[in-house]
């Protein structure tokens, strides 16, 4: 594939990521922000109870009598801040997925641009988000132990790296097994190997036992995690559809217009 074609695909991938990010932001704002607000309310109620307990024992509340003001207000966080984060995330991942598409096109089977884009989006959703989420599910802000946030973040990104590497290894194994087993059996074998290797990673990687504080409402946690899955699902589904259409239009040769035959004099 020519460098100019890859560059054009990269631009279209970023554009598709931007469009997908806009729709993902709408979903995040509609279904993701209510559980975040509920989580903050739970945190504030617990902080008020702790402050009352300290006051009852004649001790000063932790952090002083006055609460620290937020650097960015909650309305700004839930609108401008959320939109900026989701859009940047969508554009960045759209560009990376477009490069992965450029490599996979023609190597992952006899699929056209739209089918390859859909497969790329599905693989990215599975390896970059779904598998790590199953091991280390998302939690609302400020519900875990702040002392272990660095360790929990490291484990999450390690799970992403392992998932991506195992996914690439499964694709390579499937391609090599196809001549002997056939495409269908090779795909099933590679998928089974991916599931087995991922299961072993789940067993040996340490859990995030302190990711959620004791007593946090299970309903709020469940709603937040469902919203997180919905946002990612919308993001990658829209990206696969939009980028597939853009790539199809770029890579499909246009029929040449025949020149009119001059009439005899």
Task: Please state the pTM of the whole predicted model.
Answer: 0.81
Arithmetic mean of pLDDT, 23-47: 84
Burial pattern 237-255, b for ≥16 Cβ within 10 A else e, equals: bbbbbbbbebbeeebeeee
Give tens-digit pLDDT for 139-169. Answer: 877 666 666 677 888 888 999 999 999 999 9
Least confident segment among 23-32, 65-74, 122-131, 208-217: 65-74
pLDDT in tens, 41-64: 777 776 676 666 666 665 444 444
DSSP 27: H
- pLDDT greater at residue 153 or residue 198: 198
Q: Confidence band (pLDDT; 50, 70, 90) for 174?
A: confident
Domain boundaries, the chain: 1-44+74-143+213-251, 145-211
Report residue 23 as tokens.
């729709």
pLDDT at 62: 46
DSSP 31: I
CB 27 within 8 A of CB 21: no
Q: CA 35, CA 226: separation in Å to the nearest integer?
A: 10
Contacts of 62 by beta carbon, 8 Å cutoff, 6+ apart:
50, 54
pLDDT of residue 265: 47
Q: What is the mean pLDDT of residues 19-47?
A: 85
Least confident of 156-160, 167-171, 201-205, 250-254: 250-254
| Residue showing tokens 């890859």 | 6
């Amino acid at each position: 594939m020519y460098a100019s074609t890859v560059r054009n695909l990269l631009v279209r991938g970023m554009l598709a990521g931007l469009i997908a990010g806009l729709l993902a932001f709408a979903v995040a704002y509609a279904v993701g922000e209510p559980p975040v607000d509920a989580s903050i309310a739970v945190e504030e109620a617990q902080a008020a109870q702790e402050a009352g307990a300290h006051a009852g024992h004649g001790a000063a509340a932790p952090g002083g009598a006055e609460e620290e003001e937020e650097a960015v207000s909650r309305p700004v966080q839930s609108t401008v801040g959320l939109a900026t984060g989701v859009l940047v995330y969508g554009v960045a991942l759209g560009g990376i997925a477009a490069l992965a598409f450029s490599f996979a096109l023609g190597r992952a089977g006899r699929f056209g641009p739209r089918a390859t884009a859909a497969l790329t989006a599905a693989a990215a959703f599975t390896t970059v988000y779904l598998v790590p989420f199953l091991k280390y599910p998302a939690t609302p802000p400020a519900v875990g132990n702040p002392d272990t946030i660095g360790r929990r973040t490291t484990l999450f990104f390690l799970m992403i790296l392992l998932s991506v590497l195992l996914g690439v290894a499964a694709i390579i194994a499937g391609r090599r097994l196809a001549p002997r087993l056939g495409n269908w059996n090779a795909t099933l074998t590679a998928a089974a190997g991916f599931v087995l290797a991922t299961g072993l990673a789940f067993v040996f990687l340490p859990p995030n036992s302190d990711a959620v504080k004791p007593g946090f409402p299970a309903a709020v946690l469940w709603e937040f995690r469902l919203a997180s899955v919905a946002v990612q699902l919308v993001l990658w589904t829209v990206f696969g559809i939009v980028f597939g259409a853009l790539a199809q239009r770029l890579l499909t040769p246009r029929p040449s217009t025949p020149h009119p035959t001059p009439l005899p004099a």
